[in-house]
A and B are shown apart, each in its own frame.
Chain A
Amino acid sequence: MKRFAAPAVALVVAALLVTFPIWSAPWESSRYATTILRDMLVLAILALSLDLLVGSAGMPSLGHAAYFGAGAYAAAIAGQRLGSDDLLLGLGAAILVSVVLALAIGVVAVRAAGIFFLMLTLAFAQLVFALAFQATDITGGSNGFSGVRRPMLFGLDFNGPDALFQLVAVVFLLVLLLLWRIRSSAYGRALVGLRENERRMRALGYDTTRLKLSAFVFAGAIAGVAGALQAYSIRFVSTNDVGVARSVEAFVSVLVGGASTLLGPVAGAIVVLFIERVLPSYVPYAETVLGLVFIVFVLAARQGIAGLVRVAYARVRS
Chain B
Amino acid sequence: MIQTHELRREFGGIKALAGVTLHVAEGERRAIIGPNGAGKTTLFNVLTGELEPTAGVVRLAGEDVTGRRPHELARRGVARMYQRNELFDRLPARDNVAISVAAAAGPYRPFRAPPASELAAADQLLERVGLGARGGVPARALSHGERRQLELAVALAQRPRLLLLDEPTAGMSPAETGRITQLIATLDRSLTLVIVEHDMAVVLRLAERITVLHEGRVIAEGTPAQVRGDTLVNEVYLGKVVA
Q: Which A positions have Cβ atoms within 8 angstroms of B?
A: 181-182, 184-193, 196-197, 199-208, 211, 214
Residue in contact with B112 in the complex, picked from A185, A207, A214, CB distance below 8 Å: A185
Contact A206 B107 (CB under 8 A): yes
Contact A196 B71 (CB under 8 A): no
Interface of A is mostly: helix
Q: Which of B99, B102, B104, B158 counts the most chain A CB atoms within 10 A?
A: B99
13 extra interface residue pairs, beta carbon distance < 8 Å, beyond A185-B110, A185-B111, A204-B154: A189-B99, A192-B88, A197-B86, A199-B86, A201-B71, A202-B70, A203-B48, A204-B74, A204-B100, A204-B103, A205-B71, A205-B104, A207-B71
Contact B91 A187 (CB under 8 A): no
In this complex, the interface size class of chain B, counting residues with CB under 8 Å from chain A, is 35 or more
Contact B75 A205 (CB under 8 A): yes
A-B contact pairs, 22 of them (CB 8 A): A181-B111, A182-B110, A185-B111, A185-B112, A185-B113, A185-B114, A186-B105, A186-B107, A186-B112, A189-B102, A190-B99, A192-B88, A197-B86, A197-B88, A197-B89, A199-B86, A200-B87, A202-B71, A203-B79, A203-B86, A204-B99, A205-B75
B5 at the interface (CB under 8 A from A): no
Contact A196 B111 (CB under 8 A): no
The number of A-B residue pairs with CB atoms under 8 Å apart is 91
Q: How far is B82's CA from A204's CA once the two chains are assembled, in angstroms? A: 12
Contact B70 A203 (CB under 8 A): yes
Residues of B within 8 A of A186 (CB): 102, 105, 107, 109-110, 112-114, 118
Given A205-B104, A206-B107: A193 and B113 within 8 A (CB)? no
Residue in contact with A185 in the complex, picked from B50, B69, B75, B109, CB distance below 8 Å: B109
Residues of B within 8 A of A205 (CB): 71, 74-75, 103-104, 158
User: Chain B residue with minimal CB distance to A192?
Assistant: B91
